[in-house]
């Protein structure tokens, strides 16, 4: 590998590495706007100027690759003066929008101005005015006055999605980003242009004027929208601590993982979190007698559910788990059904709507943990029935008690009337999930679950990569993580004491299921690890 010196520090970097990335390895930041590691080199912003060797003119670091013996200086008087002049150029026509700009607090124009700006501007003429608050599509708003023409958004639509909706139009200081005639920025990844915009030119219509970024906290997580398992950050609002005060999760942002999603996430995953603070959330456990549903506490409902499960022969009980559940939940559920000897267990409930899929990230399977459910082994036991067979047996009154976890069976691919008939025929219907759906109003017992942002756990994506997600906000109402609900029921049925944490369950899972052997929360870290069989 070529060996070079940057600001007096020697480093070896792979051939083909540009100077921005090489300096980053040393902890040296070279300011830049147009450069993005996932896009082609444009060299438009000119901010990444550095001095190289004895060359009398500074050169852009984004388009210079490392070479043997190269000597690079990033903080000389000439470099700093050049940066100051370039910042002045970028700010000549930039509006004084910071007090009302959604990008304030995470804007690289602000950040670099504070470090490299010319604090006594010389611009005395009227600024060039351009269109403001222009919708480009369902998710993106353009403020052309704020745009510094870095072209990141244009290159993203050309190179990543291949949809080519955006271009740079006009010339000189009248140049501006815009849509080609008859086009709309509505590709499945359109909101990524908001993430990569270094200034406040492209903002999120959903997040617009919602909350200042300095009121937000961040938790690492995994997108539950499909089996890809994109790495994300959950940005949540500490000023909205309670469910009845509005939206706590302010937005989801992609988190870099080279093996899974790189820098991107799809729009469906980005905006698929609204159920977390939806009015349909189940807040308290409930039991129904005849047509009356009464809310109760966990200490009352757990013994009731346990008593009903123990009142039937194992073959009279059906359990429909969900690949929306974490590995910890599924493993504890497997232990419970094996403890009770229940043979009729499945997690495969086909959706009525066929899922979309593409070549970039989106997978047709809209569950985050189908692979985990397969590896843990939550299929029918010997002689047991699959999900369709369970409903058929319920209609024939051979299945008398059904425990449904998260599924809305009325939205499955099976005939709706047959499903309704099966639910009506049951002696006991237990529903466990985070939100009310078509099944929950018919349930004799309702057990409210915490959503994935209200707890910690792991998912295994379609490739068998096990990835952690962390707790961001507190559960609403009395909702509990699925593993805790299952563990409490199991404790009441003599399965053993309730595990203390999700991590303790994962440790037991790794010891018992061969595919997970050798894994631990510490081992998974931020990027996850593949299971042994993948």
DSSP-derived pairing of the beta strands 231-237 and 216-222: antiparallel
pLDDT at 270: 97
What does the pLDDT average to over 100-108?
89
DSSP letter for 214, please.
G
Q: Which of 381, 391, 445 is nearest to 414 (CA)?
A: 391
pLDDT at 241: 56
> Rounded to the nearest 10 degrees, how much is the dihedral formed by the CA atoms of 152, 157, 162, 163?
-160
Three-state DSSP class for residue 183: coil
> Tokens representing 394?
């319920």
Q: Which tens digits make up the pLDDT trace of 309-345?
A: 999 999 999 999 999 999 999 999 999 999 999 999 9
Q: Which tens digits make up the pLDDT trace of 191-225?
A: 999 999 999 999 999 999 988 999 999 999 999 99
**Helix residue ranges, H only, 370-466:** 370-376, 387-395, 416-425
pLDDT at 98: 87
Q: Which of 160, 161, 271, 144 is nearest to 199 (CA)?
A: 144
Tell me the C-alpha to C-alpha distance, in Å, between residue 264 and each of 137, 232, 270, 367, 432.
18, 9, 10, 19, 32
**Helix residue ranges, H only, 167-285:** 192-196, 267-270
DSSP letter for 18, please.
B
Domains and CATH numbers, the chain: 3-79 (3.10.20.740), 98-204 (3.30.70.20), 286-530 (3.40.50.740)
> Tokens representing 35?
């450069």
What does the pLDDT average to over 430-436?
97
> Tokens representing 339?
């403890």
pTM: 0.92
Q: Are 234 and 221 in contact (CB under 8 A)?
A: yes
Please spell the DSSP secondary structure of 308-333, one letter per residue: HHHHS-GGGEEEE--TTS-HHHHHHH
Q: Which residue in the block uniquely carries the two structure tokens 């001095």? A: 51
* CA angle, 470 then 210 then 469, to 5°: 10
Q: Which tens digits make up the pLDDT trace of 218-240?
A: 999 999 999 999 999 999 987 66
**Helix residue ranges, H only, 141-198:** 152-155, 192-196
Whole-number CA gyration radius for the chain: 28
pLDDT at 92: 86
The pair phi, psi for residue 141, each rounded to 5°, is -115, 135
> Tokens representing 439?
């099944």
Across the chain, mean pLDDT equals: 93
Q: Are 371 and 227 in contact (CB under 8 A)?
A: yes
Would you say residue 478 has pLDDT above 60? yes
What is the spatial distance between Cα 394 and Cα 400, in angstroms, rounded to a whole number? 6
What is the spatial distance between Cα 464 and Cα 524, in angstroms, rounded to a whole number? 13
Q: Which tens digits make up the pLDDT trace of 46-86?
A: 999 999 999 999 999 999 999 999 999 999 999 999 999 99
Q: Which of 413, 435, 439 is nearest to 426 (CA)?
A: 439
Q: Are 11 and 4 in contact (CB under 8 A)?
A: yes
Greater model confidence, 299 or 289: 299
What does the pLDDT average to over 481-494?
97
């Amino acid at each position: 590998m070529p060996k070079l010196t940057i600001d007096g520090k020697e480093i070896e970097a792979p051939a083909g590495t540009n100077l921005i990335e090489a300096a980053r390895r040393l902890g040296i930041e070279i300011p830049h706007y147009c450069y993005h590691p996932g896009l082609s080199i444009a060299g438009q912003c000119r901010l990444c100027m550095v001095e190289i060797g004895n060359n009398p003119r500074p050169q852009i670091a984004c388009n210079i690759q490392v070479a043997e013996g190269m000597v690079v200086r990033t903080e000389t008087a000439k470099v700093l003066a050049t940066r100051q002049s370039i910042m002045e150029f970028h700010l000549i026509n930039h509006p004084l929008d910071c007090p009302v700009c959604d990008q304030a607090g995470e804007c690289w124009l602000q950040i670099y101005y504070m470090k490299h700006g010319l604090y006594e501007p010389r611009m005395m003429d009227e600024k060039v005015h351009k269109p403001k608050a222009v919708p480009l599509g369902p998710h993106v708003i353009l403020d052309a006055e704020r745009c510094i023409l870095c072209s990141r958004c244009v290159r993203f639509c050309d190179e990543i999605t291949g949809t080519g909706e955006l271009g740079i139009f006009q010339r000189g200081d009248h140049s501006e980003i815009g849509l080609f005639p008859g086009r709309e920025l509505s590709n499945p990844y359109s909101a990524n242009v908001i993430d990569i915009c270094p200034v406040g030119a492209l903002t999120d219509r959903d997040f617009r004027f919602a909350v200042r970024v300095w009121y937000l906290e961040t938790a690492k997580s995994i997108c539950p929208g499909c089996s890809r398992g994109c790495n994300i950050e959950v940005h949540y609002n500490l000023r909205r601590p309670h469910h009845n005060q509005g939206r706590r999760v302010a937005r989801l942002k992609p988190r870099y993982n080279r093996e899974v999603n790189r820098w991107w996430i799809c729009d469906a995953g980005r905006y698929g979190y609204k159920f977390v603070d939806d009015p349909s959330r189940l807040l308290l456990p409930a039991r129904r007698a005849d047509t009356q549903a009464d809310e109760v506490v966990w200490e009352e409902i757990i013994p009731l559910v346990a008593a009903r499960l123990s009142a039937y022969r194992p073959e009279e009980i059906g359990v429909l788990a969900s690949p929306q559940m974490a590995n910890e939940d599924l493993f504890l559920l497997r232990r419970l059904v094996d403890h009770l000897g229940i043979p009729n267990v499945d997690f495969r409930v086909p959706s009525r709507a066929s899922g979309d899929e593409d070549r970039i990230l989106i997978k047709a399977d809209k569950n985050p943990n189908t692979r985990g459910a397969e590896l843990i082994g939550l299929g029918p036991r010997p002689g047991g029935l699959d999900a369709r067979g369970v409903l058929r047996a319920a209609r024939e009154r051979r299945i008398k008690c059904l425990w449904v976890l998260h599924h809305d069976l009325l939205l499955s691919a099976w005939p709706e009337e047959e499903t309704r008939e099966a639910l009506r025929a049951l002696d006991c219907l237990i529903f466990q999930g985070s939100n009310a759906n078509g099944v929950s109003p018919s349930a004799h017992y309702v057990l409210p679950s915490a959503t994935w942002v209200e707890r910690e756990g792991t998912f295994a994506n379609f490739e068998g990569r096990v990835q952690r997600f962390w707790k961001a906000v507190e559960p609403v109402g009395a909702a509990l993580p699925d593993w805790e609900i299952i563990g409490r029921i199991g404790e009441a049925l003599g399965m053993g004491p309730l595990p203390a944490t999700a991590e303790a369950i994962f440790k037991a899972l790794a010891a018992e299921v061969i595919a997970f052997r050798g894994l631990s929360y510490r081992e998974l870290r931020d990027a996850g690890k593949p299971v042994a069989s993948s």
